[in-house]
Amino acid sequence: MKKGAIITPWEIEGKVDYARLIKEFGIQQMLNLPAVFNKELLFRRKIIFGQRDFGRILDAIKNRKKFAMMTGLMPSGKFHLGHMLLVQQMIFYQKLGAKLYIAVADLEAYNTRQKNLKELRNIAMEEYLSNYIALGLKSKNCEFYFQSERSNNAKKSNAYYRLASNFSRYATFNEFKAIYGEISPGKMNASLLQAADILHCQLPEFEGKPLPVLIPVGIDQDPHLRLARDISQRYKDYRFIPPSSTYNLFFPGLKGNGKMSSSDETSFIGMTDTEKEIENKIKKYAFSGGKDTIEEHRKQGGNPNIDVSFQYLKFFFEPDDKKLQKIYEDYKSGKLLTSELKAILIEKINSFLKKHQMKKKYVNKQVKKFLSKLD
């Protein structure tokens, strides 16, 4: 996604860039959140930093009204640490009582990347769903479906595909160009289907009536959301509540630029990487905010704001705010060396992944449960 590529959150004091983007896209600052949100470090640490219409979701939570959280996954390759960002949010909202809708964007992948549907389905199950389950996602109150196969219930399926088709009447060519830059029929189709993903749960065949729906995304997905919002208000045959959205910072790739991506071996840490691989990758590739020599580092200190190892601790691996703050200060003052910071991270990731890989061995029964709900 072109829009994502111009975002460089890992420049010094990343806030500057995000402030500009918030303004450019018309995204709002995060609202004051009720106390339950403090439990999730992604909120506490402002990694989820912006929103549109999130007040509607907060109202639903406060008034114990039903709401849904919807997201989609591109079954493009290996599941890596960056994907966990969204999974944490799914689990958080599931625990809060949201109904979850998770779309495997296999038709989007079929049309925009050159893989066949069977291959894509396998990737979705083995890489994505299995890891979701090992991380704690439950099948209860969750509809996990494939764009290529919405439901075995014809009424539901018809309603979903009808929506995607009907939406073509309400979008313009220029809107598509703004989303994708270079547009093709496949991409056009994918963005209409994505709008249907986002809105269909409000239909009579699904949740029965309009309800607030939250789509948590990285900021690069915002053009999709703007399109879905606009279409939801132009659509003549049903009164949709426009979707709400929140925006999270990108999880940086090892080399510190952009977001972690499975297309570059030296940028990501996969869930199946071995202890040795992780140690090597972090030592060799993790971008450092430290100084060139130990003497200089001791004297001038490092910059944790651009240091990838520190960012990884902040996003996931050091949940204790006090400990994180101490690491921040020690690194900044020069007391903590880059090699020591990396050693902390290597230990944390390896002990996390060891447990995770164990859990992943036992997910098969759960996978079946998710798939048995395609009705």
Residue among 71 and 131 whose Cβ is closer to ligand TRP = 71
C-beta closer to ligand TRP: residue 83 or 281: 83
**Rounded distance between C-alpha atoms, residue 334 and residue 66, angstroms:** 50
Please tell me whether residue 349 binds ligand TRP under the rule CB under 6 A.
no
Q: Which of residues 58-77 bind ligand TRP (CB under 6 A)?
A: 70-72, 74
Q: CB-wise, 142 or 345, nearer to ligand TRP?
A: 142
Pick from 106, 127, 143, 197 the residue near ligand TRP by CB under 6 A: 197
Give the DSSP H or E segment for 348: helix 338-360
Contact 22, 191 (CB under 8 A): no
Q: Using the rule CB under 6 A, which residue among 90, 98, 129, 198 binds ligand TRP?
A: 198
DSSP string, 196-244: HHHHGGGSTTTTSS---EEEEEEGGGHHHHHHHHHHHHH-SSS-PPPPE
Under rule CB under 6 A, residue 108 binds ligand TRP: yes
User: Shortest Cβ distance from residue 218 to ligand TRP (Å)?
Assistant: 9
Nearest residue (CB) to ligand TRP, 75 versus 302 = 75
Number of residues that bind ligand TRP (CB under 6 A): 11
Q: Measured in Å, how far apart are the chain's first and last C-alpha atoms? A: 33
208: left (phi over 0), alpha (psi -120 to 50) or beta: left
Spatial separation of the C-alpha atoms in residues 15 and 249, rounded to whole Å: 10
> With respect to ligand TRP, which residue has the nearer C-beta, 108 or 205?
108
| 105 sits near ligand TRP (criterion: CB under 6 A) | yes
Beta bridge partners of 248: 48, 218
Check residue 215 for interaction with ligand TRP (CB under 6 A).
Answer: yes
Residue 251 CB-density burial (10 A; 0-12 exposed, 13-18 middle, 19+ buried) = buried
Looking at the Cβ atoms of 61 and 70, the one nearer to ligand TRP is 70
- Binding site residues, ligand TRP, CB under 6 A: 70-72, 74, 103, 105, 108, 194, 197-198, 215
